[in-house]
Every structure is written in C-alpha cells, then in structure tokens.
Amino acid sequence: MRKLLIIGLDGATWDIVKPWADSGELPLFKKLMAEGAWGPLRSVTPNLTPPGWTTAFTGVNPGKHGIFDFFTLDDGAENPRVISSADRKAPALWEILAAAGRRAGVFNVPTTYPADEIPGFFITGMGTPGLTGPWCHPAQEAEALRRRHPRFKIGADHHLIETGDYGGFLDELYALTDAQEALVLDMLERHDPSALVFIYDDLDRVMHFYWRFMERAHPRFQEAAPRIKNAIRDYYHRIEEGMERLRAAMGPETDLCILSDHGFGPLHTDVYFNRILADWGYLGTKGAAREIVAKPLWKRALKAAVPQGLRTWLRTNVKASPLAGPLGFIEWDATRAFYASVSGRSIYINLKGRQPHGTVEPGREYEHLRAELKARILALKDPLTDDPVAQAVYGREEVYAGPFLDRAPDLLIQEDGRYAYRVDWSTERFAPASQYGVDKSGSHRTFGMLLLHGPSFKPEKIEHAHLQDVTPTLLAALGLPVGDDMDGRIVREAFAGAPAESRTSYAGLRGGSGAALRSDEEAQLAERLKGLGYM
C-alpha cells in the first residue's frame, strides 16, 4: 500500500524557501521542488493557526469545522474559553483513514487535545495543557515515552525569550525539535503506520522573534552574532535534516506533502484595538482599567528582580483581582463592541440575548453597527506611516459558511501582516510590536506553501491551491473518496496520472474527540497560551 508523509511547517513561506533553495542553501527543498509539484497555498481568512491547520486536515471551511481561534466565546459567557479537540465538528483526515482501516500516526497538530483514539498513534500539539492528561494515544504508552524521551515536553520554555536570551531560546527550540523527532521516530518504529502527520511548530516562533536580525529593511533591524542573524535560515536547514530522517523512516513508496498553515513576513506595529474602540465610544472600561495600564511596568520590574518561581506564583495569584480574565477591564453595560482575543483578529458585538450584559439589539441595530465599525476600521491609519492597519474587514458570513457560522466572531479583520492586534488595555493605540515585553518582528501572511512529491505526483507549478484542498488531494492520492461535504478541490494538476475521483459522505464520523477540557486543564492551558503571547 502506498504510504503518506505529511510534514507541516508552521508559517513556512516560499519567500524564504525559494531563494535559499535556488542558491543551494536548502538542497533538499531544491531537489523536492525539481521533482515535485509546488506553489503557494492560500490560508484561511484571517490567516490564523487553529482554523488554518483544522481546515487543512478536514477539507472544510471554519463554518463547517467550528474552529476559529485558540479561544471561543460561548453564548452567555463574558470571557473567552480555550478550545479543545471536542470543538472540532468535522472529521479529520486521520479519522477518515481510520474508518478506511488504515493506521496513522499524528504528531503535534495544534488544537487536537485530547488525543483522538485512532488505529496507530496520536500525540497532541499546541493547545495541550501538559504531559499529564490525554496527550498520547495509546494512553498506556505515555509513561514509557516520557521515560525514554525525558527532554520531550509540550512547547518551548518561553521564559528564555522573555529575558531577552535569544541564544538560549534557540538552544531550547533545537532541543525540543530533537526530542520531538526522536519521539516520533520511536513511535514510527513500533506502530508502523501507513500515514504520518508531523508538524514543526517552532518554525513559527523562530520567525516571530528573529526576523529583524535577518532583514536589513526591518525598522528595528539589529546587527547580531551570526547564530542569531542566521537563526531562521539555520532552522529551515535543521528541518531539512529532520525531513530526511522522516522520509527514510517511511520508505521510498511514500507520497510526501509539505505544507504550511500561512506564510510569514516582517511585523512592525501592535494595534491596541480595545483602546481604539474605547476612544471611538464603543467600549466602556472600569475605573480600575487605569491600574492595568501600569501592569507592564511592574511586570518589567518584577522580571528583572524576582526569581522565576516567585514570578509564576505572583502571576497566578495577583491575577485574582476584580479585573480577572483577559477582558476584565471592560464595563459591559457601557460596551457595544469589543476585541476578544489576541489570536483571533476579530470583533464581537455585545449582543442582547447572547452576551450576558448585551447592549445591542439583534437585527437592524446589529447590522448597522457592524457596517459602521467596518468603515471606521478600514479608514484607521497608522499615525507613523499613514498606512491602513487593516486590509479588509468581513462580516463572518462573507468568509465562512456552514452550520457553525454562529460560533464565529461578528467581524473578522485581515491585516497585511505588518500589524498585530492586541487584546489587552493600553494608554496608547499603537506601539512597536512585542511579546513577553520583548521585540516581536515577524508575523503571518496569507500565502503559505504546498509541495507534493512522490509516486502519485509529477513536477508541476501549482497555481491556485487553498488549505481546504489539502485533504481532498491527499485522499485522492490514497485512492480514497473525497467527502461530499468538503469545500476543497483535488489539486489535479499535481498528479502524475488521473487521480481517483469518487465521493462519499463521512458525516457518520464524529470529528474531534468527545471530551471538553476540565477546568484545571483550562487554567493550565490558559497559562500556557499566555506564555505563547496569546492571552
């Protein structure tokens, strides 16, 4: 049986890979590009990691799979909740493979915790609270895996970057990448799946933090030692080495799909959307919001003076203030619209009947407010450059369609990547982009990359592929029917022969593991996402 190897490179872009492949600095990419089909891969709108990967692995738009962000705002809730794999409402590729009687290995796909119990193995990715809950299937292997791979953990230690230790953070990312690969090679040997999904998610982190050392044109370009300056290129190199090992482990009769969930480019400026909504009169704040403004200062002082353990304790306990929760500064009765999560690029209307202290009537008032906000956000300019901070603002029904549309935020904002949007309160509307109080210089772009290589595919230029095309294309390569509900197309131009073209319904497959997060897991995860700069 033909095997399938899917390698996800979070945030990888041809803008980086192609020049370095052409010049021979990325020799494996050069070879795969010469022998395979490749081209840009359009991301979802807005181009975010959770809906991006979920669309890639379900073949449907977020309106059908229900994942829009790391967070969701349940009806009747004041603060967003962290999502789990139970929020995924469409079957993923690995569930379809399981139904077809094929064994798969899935490793490190974001927002897949708790693990799906498929034939083969499943290790959850970003959005996993820690190595105590159901992060590993088969669950009885978890303990032995932890013993054999003591350096494996969920997510790199972000405190290194918080203290500005760029070299130490790189060491940390490399050590974690080594441990992830060692663990998956170990699992491959023992489970021998016919399909493997492996995601390099730390590529995203490298590009977020090291971009300004690479690009001279960046407004905050900084000369640095070669290891820091070349961090992005060297990490792509490191990925090539890993890809060689994974290819060797899967064997020669394997189709290879390399994809990213979005592209990457320079990031310049943070936009404090709730501050702007307050200035415009749409958002009211509690008097104590003034105190929050002072927080970054005491946080910085704390970071310099207090040991890490105590800092964590303070963060956990001081948080229990009347302003607890990421939106704790909002005076709901005086609010008509708010920006809900840093990772969501979206605005919610404070709607009567849905929000606990809703102020806006559904229907005409809601529509009028959305139209007004859309126009104002599109006209919003960066005072330093006079550039618009949003490329497009969409009503949710303009970009998503499906039964879970009503879970989506009311307005979705697509920026051009040089701007990042913040959820926290600030005295300023704009500031140089940062995370953990350190410079953040790279961010997402709309076009990621797709490369198809192996016995099913031929050398070809791929022109118009979208994340939702990935699952239909891979099902066709495996000779399996495409789901009749899938939004994506088979990327036919990449196939060496005519691909299988049957369709079937996978509606009977449930999608996502049954269990929602326990409250302690959610608290743990919230802390982790905060560490990643998402809260």
Nearer to Zn ion, 137 or 208 (CB): 208
CA atoms within 13 A on the CB side of 23: 6
Nearer to Zn ion, 126 or 482 (CB): 126
> Taking contact as CB under 5 A, which single stretch among the options 131-139, 261-269, 380-388, 507-515 is the one that binds Zn ion?
261-269
Closest approach, Cβ 125 to Zn ion, in A, equals: 11
Q: Please name the residue that has the structure tokens 């956990």.
A: 316
Closest approach, Cβ 485 to Zn ion, in A, equals: 25
Query: Does residue 445 contact residue 207 with C-beta atoms inside 8 Å?
Result: no
CA distance 428 to 200: 35
Which of 10, 181, 202, 424 forms a contact with Zn ion (CB under 5 A)? 10
CA distance 96 to 121: 15
CA distance 237 to 278: 46
Closest approach, Cβ 342 to Zn ion, in A, equals: 14
> Taking contact as CB under 5 A, which single stretch among the options 3-11, 23-31, 300-308, 339-347 is the one that binds Zn ion?
3-11
Nearer to Zn ion, 88 or 370 (CB): 88
Structure tokens at 351: 């709607």
CA–CA distances in Å: residue 459 to residues 140, 247, 421, 463, 496? 43, 19, 40, 13, 8
Nearer to Zn ion, 242 or 328 (CB): 242
> Hey, which residues does 38 pair with through a beta bridge?
451, 461
Nearer to Zn ion, 172 or 261 (CB): 261
Residue 439 as a binder of Zn ion (CB under 5 A): the answer is no
Closest approach, Cβ 11 to Zn ion, in A, equals: 5
Size of the site for Zn ion (CB under 5 A): 4
> Taking contact as CB under 5 A, which single stretch among the options 2-10, 72-80, 207-215, 271-279 is the one that binds Zn ion?
2-10
Closest approach, Cβ 448 to Zn ion, in A, equals: 8
Closest approach, Cβ 67 to Zn ion, in A, equals: 13
* Binding residues among 187-206 for Zn ion as defined by CB under 5 A: 204
> Hey, which residues does 107 pair with through a beta bridge?
123, 198
Query: Does residue 286 contact residue 36 with C-beta atoms inside 8 Å?
Result: no
Nearer to Zn ion, 495 or 534 (CB): 534
Closest approach, Cβ 110 to Zn ion, in A, equals: 7
Closest approach, Cβ 112 to Zn ion, in A, equals: 14
Nearer to Zn ion, 87 or 261 (CB): 261
Q: Please name the residue that has the structure tokens 């600030």.
A: 426
CA distance 120 to 220: 47
Residue 316: exposed, middle, or buried by beta-carbon count in 10 A (0-12, 13-18, 19+)? exposed
Closest approach, Cβ 220 to Zn ion, in A, equals: 22
Nearer to Zn ion, 275 or 466 (CB): 466
Nearer to Zn ion, 33 or 203 (CB): 203
Closest approach, Cβ 127 to Zn ion, in A, equals: 12
Closest approach, Cβ 48 to Zn ion, in A, equals: 7
Nearer to Zn ion, 10 or 415 (CB): 10
User: What contacts 490, CB < 8 A, 6 or more positions away?
Assistant: 469, 472, 473, 476, 482, 499, 501
Nearer to Zn ion, 346 or 359 (CB): 346
Residue 217: exposed, middle, or buried by beta-carbon count in 10 A (0-12, 13-18, 19+)? exposed
* Binding residues among 480-499 for Zn ion as defined by CB under 5 A: none
CA distance 511 to 494: 28
Q: Which of 126, 94, 96, 81 is nearest to 108 (CA)?
A: 126
For Zn ion, what does the binding mask look like between residues 212 and 251, x meaning CB under 5 A? ----------------------------------------
Q: Is the dihedral of CA 429, 158, 261, 453 positive or negative?
A: positive
For Zn ion, what does the binding mask look like between residues 35 and 64, x meaning CB under 5 A? --------------x---------------
Residue, CB closest to Zn ion: 49
CA distance 472 to 214: 37
* Binding residues among 300-339 for Zn ion as defined by CB under 5 A: none
Which of 261, 270, 415, 439 forms a contact with Zn ion (CB under 5 A)? 261
Q: Report DSSP state, residue 262.
A: S
Q: What is the number of residues in the chain? A: 535
3-state secondary structure of 203: helix
Closest approach, Cβ 437 to Zn ion, in A, equals: 22
Structure tokens at 251: 């064997």
Kindly state the helix (H) or strand (E) to which residue 395 belongs, with its residue range.
Answer: strand 392-395
Closest approach, Cβ 6 to Zn ion, in A, equals: 15
Nearer to Zn ion, 8 or 120 (CB): 8
The residue type at 528: R
* Binding residues among 450-469 for Zn ion as defined by CB under 5 A: none
CA distance 200 to 376: 38
> Taking contact as CB under 5 A, which single stretch among the options 4-12, 94-102, 407-415, 519-527 is the one that binds Zn ion?
4-12
Interaction site with Zn ion (CB under 5 A): 10, 49, 204, 261
